[in-house]
Amino acid sequence: MTLQSTAQIGRIIRDGVVFDVKNWTQDMSNSNQLIDAVQNLFALLKQRRIDYVLVGGIAILYYVEGRNTQDLDLIMALSSLDALPEFKITSKDTYFVRADYDGLQIDVLLTQNPLFKKVHEQFTKVQSFLDQDIPLATVDGLLLLKLYALPSLYRHGNFARVGIYENDVATLLHYYQPNVPALLTELSSHLSESDMAKVRSIVSDIQTRISRFRDETR
């Protein structure tokens, strides 16, 4: 696979931070500590026997190349955070927690959300990833999470993240050709009818782009 060690995850996150121009007014002298932070984090999760699933941009790197990110995304139960006092919580709402671990930003998707719980339980597989076995969301699990988030991102006018998420969806659909109707059926249990209409429109647009790309490359 693209990545071979947790140190490489640290370098990807470090580079994502360093090369983001919004961060250039900040002190970046400790950016290399992110590499150690990532290695220490996975060792800590294993040592504490935390039941987690790796999702987000780093998980996508298991399946496709070229993704950039500045944080780590994990699904876990709220109770698991009690066993991780090293996580300094910076924000929290019903289904999400953002924490700092030695300068590393961690976004936690809580299993209190029914879809997050389902991905955790049914769309996860332990993969030999990096230098250890890591519970990782499957392609279907990642697609469910990305599509679930898109209507909210549109409502909040977060165009940059919309572009990133739609590109993730397009890339996974192109390379893995999952059962899209089954994914949409699953999502319909977790989104309103209006949000599902938006998701179906987004998926249709992406599928049209993929078809056009395949036609042009034949």
Same domain? For 177 and 103 the reply is: no
- What does the pLDDT profile of the chain (218 residues) look like in tens digits? 444 455 455 555 554 443 333 333 344 345 556 667 777 888 899 999 999 999 988 788 888 876 666 578 999 999 999 999 999 999 999 999 999 998 888 999 999 999 999 999 999 999 876 567 889 999 999 999 999 999 999 999 989 889 989 999 999 999 999 999 999 999 999 999 999 999 999 999 999 999 998 888 77
CATH number of the domain bearing residue 91:
3.30.460
Domain count, the chain: 2
Same domain? For 39 and 118 the reply is: yes
This model's pTM is above 0.75? yes
Which residues form the domain of 148? 141-216
- Three-state helix/strand/coil letters over the chain: CCCCCHHHHHHHHHHHHHCCHHHCCCCCCCCCHHHHHHHHHHHHHHHCCCCEEEEHHHHHHHHCCCCCCCEEEEEECHHHHHHCCCCEEEEECCCEEEEEECCEEEEEEECCCHHHHHHHHHCEEEEEECCEEEEEECHHHHHHHHHHHHHHHHHCCCHHHHHHHHHHHHHHHHHHCCCHHHHHHHHCCCCCHHHHHHHHHHHHHHHHHHHHHHHHCC
Same domain? For 80 and 146 the reply is: no
Same domain? For 17 and 105 the reply is: yes
Same domain? For 85 and 173 the reply is: no
Same domain? For 126 and 48 the reply is: yes
- The reply to whether 1 falls in a domain is no
Residue that is last in its domain, among 104, 137, 170: 137
- The reply to whether 69 falls in a domain is yes
